Amino acid sequence: MKKFIFLLFFINLLFTVFSQELPVFLGNDRYALEHDRLQLAISTIEYPVTPGDVYQLSYLSAGTLATYEIVVESDYNVELNVFGHINGYNKSFPELKKEIEAKVIDAYPGSIPFVSIESVGIFQVFIVGELDMSQRITVWGLTRLSQAISGLLQSYSSIRNIQIHHSSGEIEQFDLYKSIFEGDLDQDPLLKPGDIIHVDKSVKNIRLVGQVHRPGEYQILSDDSLIKVINYYGRGFTEDANLKRIKITHNTLDDYNITYLDSENKSDFANYIPKNGDIIELFSVSRIQKVVYIEGAISSQQTDEIDELNTLQNQVNRISYSFNPGITLYDVLQNNISRISTYADLKSVYIIEENSTELHYVDCASLLFQYSSEKDRLLHPFDIIVIPEIEFRVNVIGAVYSEGVFSYVRGKTAMYYIIQAGGIDTELNTNFQFVVRGKDGKNKSPEDVIEAGDTIIVLKNSFSFSFGEYAPVITSILAMITTVIAFVNLFGNSTD
């Protein structure tokens, strides 16, 4: 018999739970919301006893299963019929459940009492203060302060100073920042029936920009110093932060000014109290870091293929590379090897030092592919490494029939290009003399193979050319001498 009674008891419990889920399938949002709230209340150990809650008490009486509903009144009073009553104010449901079940056991030992939640109560709270308008909203026992005011706050509404006026006359103050950013749930309490939420106006709004771990906009307290703002709100400097220059822009309708602070003077950080509307900007060290520059036949991106020559010839590329003491030319080029154009003239690389016009040439083809420390060169801050492009042409000027620029052909000597220029003009050059000048401005041996960018100068050295070139000058001088002699003779004869 007892087994049968127990079976009926548990069947009833299962029916109760199952029946609580039925409204979900009705497709009504209200029922779905009630169901979700019910499931959350059942699974949350801290669910508070709330006016309007409906519980079900089941127990065995003289071998018969007895059940009836219990309603929490507006004064938190819970009537238990023959078992008396209990006040549920400031109690959680698990605490009240234990008290009710204990009362039933005291009256009917062995009755196996069980209390479950059938539905949860709802109530309204009033929200006033620095809002677009006051609001009365419907909440329930697990609604927290942050959820109640979500979507209602304005830019001037404070989250640092929110008061809750309870129906008991008690007033509590809360700082939602500590709840939102520190997880302090004591600052985000559950609401109670009759609560009036008062939102104050924010005192100081500032913005952190740049090299802090958590940049953003913050409501700070009136006495918060700059160092607290950076360490507490911004979670400290990043490793790349430039502590020697912090920019503070005070920007309000009434005032605009910019202040720079230096962390080497620690009193600046400790004593400066940010103002409402301040924008605190922390710069990166790399923004002012010393660099060296590479320009010319180099890509601005790391690529395996460099643009074609005709593209490179129409643009000037420059990249910067971080300077560290002891860095050498080889270090910089090797670390940027994939950026160097296949058309780069590595043999003619030159370096220009800061505040200097002197060109320091280095054969970087030999440096990169046959390295030795003797070929390498220490760099200085803001050195410019210029990598010229190969010029696929040779200039021929001087005593030739057709001066001009001719296509470079690998392995050819000077005479090849002189012939391309029509050959030597024998009236201007009688001994076939010429000079080969490299694009670095230095003379080369006439027997050397010509390289792209070289200039061949065929000398104008024939007697007839030289005489013809200087004859007008000689004639002028002779005429002047003849004139002087004539004047002397004239005046000499007059004296006689």
Question: What's the CATH number for 2-119?
Answer: 3.30.1950.10
Residues 205 and 277 sit within 8 Å (Cβ to Cβ): yes
The answer on pLDDT for 214 being more than 50 is yes
- Please state, in angstroms and rounded to a whole number, the distance separating the CA atoms of residues 423 and 207: 76
Q: Tell me which residue of 224, 182, 189 sits closest to 206, measured CA to CA.
A: 224
Backbone dihedral angles phi then psi of residue 266, each to the nearest 5 degrees = -65, -25
Residue 357 phi, psi dihedral angles, 5° rounding? -110, 0
Q: How far apart are CA 490 and CA 174, in angstroms?
A: 123
**Topology (CATH level 3) of domain 122-201:** Outer membrane lipoprotein wza fold like (3.10.560)
Across the chain, mean pLDDT equals 83
- The string over 467-478, giving b where at least 16 C-beta atoms fall within 10 Å of a residue's C-beta and e elsewhere, is eeeeeeeeeeee
Least confident interval from 208-222, 283-297, 398-412: 283-297
In the chain, what is the straight-line distance between the N-terminal and C-terminal CA atoms, in Å?
179
What is the pLDDT averaged over residues 270-299?
Answer: 85
User: Which of 123, 124, 126 has its CA nearest to residue 198?
Assistant: 126
Mean pLDDT throughout 126-154?
94
Which one has a higher pLDDT value, 260 or 489? 260
How is 53-120 classified by DSSP, letter by letter?
-EEEEEEEETTEEEEEEEEB-TTSEEE-GGG-EEE-TT-BHHHHHHHHHHHHHHHSTT---EEEEEE-
pLDDT of residue 436: 92
Q: Do domains 122-201 and 291-387 have the same CATH topology?
A: yes
Highest-confidence range of 99-103, 258-262, 281-285, 409-413, by mean pLDDT? 99-103
Domain 393-461 fold is Ubiquitin-like (UB roll) (3.10.20)
- Comparing 305-314, 373-382, 400-409, 471-480, the range with the smallest average pLDDT is 305-314
Nearest residue to 378 via CA among 335, 334, 332: 332
Confidence (pLDDT) at 315 = 46
Residue 134's CB is within 10 A of a number of other CB atoms, namely: 13
Tell me which of 399 and 492 has the higher pLDDT.
Answer: 399
Q: Are 263 and 282 in contact (CB under 8 A)?
A: no
Q: What is the pTM of this model?
A: 0.53
**CATH class as words, domain 291-387:** alpha beta
- Cα separations in angstroms, 448 against 260, 364, 411, 454: 62, 21, 9, 11
The domain segmentation of the chain, as residue ranges, is: 2-119, 122-201, 204-287, 291-387, 393-461
121-129 average pLDDT score: 96
Would you state the structure tokens that stand for residue 276, as one six-digit string? Answer: 């409402």
pLDDT of res. 274:
93
Q: Does domain 204-287 have CATH number 3.40.50.2300?
A: no
Q: In whole angstroms, how far apart are CA 267 and each of 37, 123, 229, 276, 363?
A: 54, 52, 15, 21, 53
Q: Is the pLDDT of residue 251 over 80?
A: no
User: Which residues face 460 on adjacent strands?
Assistant: none
Q: CA 13, CA 11: separation in Å to the nearest integer?
A: 5
- Report whether pLDDT(308) > 50: no
Strands 77-79 vs 85-87: parallel, antiparallel or unpaired: antiparallel
Q: Which two tokens stand for residue 177?
A: 């920042």
What pLDDT score does 254 carry? Answer: 72
What pLDDT does 24 receive? 40
Burial 324-343 (b: 16+ CB within 10 A, else e): eeebebbbbbeebeebbbeb
User: Is the distance from CB of 38 to CB of 117 less than 8 angstroms?
Assistant: yes
Distance CA 256, CA 234 (A): 23
| Tokens linked to 367 | 């440096």
| 279-301: burial string, b at 16+ Cβ within 10 Å, e else | bbbbbeeeeeeeebbbebbbbee
**Predicted confidence band at 14 (pLDDT cuts at 50, 70, 90)?**
very low
383 Cβ partners below 8 Å, 6+ apart? 292, 293, 351, 352, 353, 354
Mean per-residue pLDDT, 335-340: 90
